[in-house]
Amino acid sequence: MRSILAASLLAAVASLPLAAQSATSCDRACLAGVMTAYLDSLVAHDPSKAPLAANARFTEDAKELRVGDGLWRTASKLRPFRADFLDVATGTAATHAVVEENGMPVLLAARLKVDGRRITEVETIVVRSREEGALFAPEALAQPSPAMVKAPPGSARMSRDAMAEMALRYPGGLKVGSFEKSDVPFAPDAYRLENGVRMAGPGCTFRPPSCENMRAQQLPTLAGIVAHVVAVDEENGTVLLWMDFGPGSLPGPPGAAPRSLVTFEAFKVYGGQVHAVEAVFEGMPPNTPSGWR
């Protein structure tokens, strides 16, 4: 079962456009600097402060907007929480961050496509409330989680393909309603944060104590889930996936328009285990495409 699920999901990743798999001349420090410039440009309300290509494409919550609109108009401050996912091989800089609008925190997930040290694509999810995200606890994200941002020892690092395959077992488990069936090898202290809420692992809040064992945790069966790899950060041991959980993933009140959970979800993967999972997600209309080309 695991090999079939992994093969099908990896096939989907392999079908990504060649532009998404191309190399870049921007190293890790460069990618991190590009992300910093982008975030600074948000609070400055000035896209020219970011190294944007002339034809840069920008989406917020899967809607294509004019560069300078959306969060560029409203962001007022960057809070300390920021976790970057840097993929030199594909020229991808991505982040989970907390930003303020008029003194109120919002959750931001962003993916930048960097080509020739210029940003050609900006894809973002911005979560402003529990109504938008189902879960919403930005105040719990005071600093980046050490488990997510600390680089693993060199001896525990894995190849790109092995990291991606292991992370993709997670949506594979959601597809069949069991992380045991998809053989996700969670570390004993593995945890999952969803919009700042600790939903699984030690100290979890979702039906404890059953949520403490992530591998055995009861799951919904989300047969319509789709996923693709956004970034593989081999040095930091992280994989970032974009996922649409599909029909039934976000039940609402009677008569409400259906929504699906859409997420940029990060996985700490090294030493043959998944050590941490952190997600920023939002409810969106079913079958909403990502901004990925």
**Is the pLDDT score of 197 beyond 50?**
yes
pLDDT in tens, 24-73: 589 999 999 999 999 999 999 999 999 999 999 999 999 999 999 999 99
| Range of the structural domain that residue 37 is part of | 21-146
Q: Which residue has the tokens 């699984």?
A: 200
Report whether 42 contacts 72 (CB < 8 A): yes
Q: Please give the full DSSP string across 257-291, using - where no structure is assigned.
A: PPBEEEEEEEEEEETTEEEEEEEEEEEE-TTPPPS
Tell me the H-state helices in 62-190: 71-74, 130-133, 146-149, 160-176
What local confidence, expressed as pLDDT, does residue 15 receive?
A: 37
- 159 and 79 part of one domain: no
- 280 and 152 part of one domain: yes
The Cα–Cα gap between 224 and 287 comes to 10
Of the candidates 96, 124, 146, which is a domain's last residue? 146
pLDDT in tens, 234-289: 999 999 999 999 987 887 767 778 889 999 999 999 999 999 999 999 999 988 88
Mean pLDDT confidence for 162-182: 97
Does residue 215 sit within a domain? yes
The Cα–Cα gap between 112 and 116 comes to 13
What number of residues does the chain have? 293
- 107 and 189 part of one domain: no
CATH code of residue 156? 3.10.450.50
Longest Cα pair distance anywhere in the chain, in angstroms?
54
183 contact partners, CB below 8 Å, separation of at least 6 = 2, 169
- 170 and 207 part of one domain: yes
Of the candidates 118, 146, 174, which is a domain's last residue? 146
How many domains does the structure of the chain reveal? 2
- 122 and 165 part of one domain: no
> Which is it for strands 197-200 and 77-87: parallel, antiparallel or unpaired?
unpaired
The token duo for 124 is 């973002």
Q: Which residues of 247-283 are buried (b: 16+ CB within 10 A; e: fewer)?
A: eebbeeeeeeeebbbbbbbbbbbbeebbbbbbbbbbb
**Is the pLDDT score of 1 beyond 80?**
no
- 55 and 71 part of one domain: yes
Report whether 46 contacts 111 (CB < 8 A): no
What local confidence, expressed as pLDDT, does residue 78 receive?
A: 98
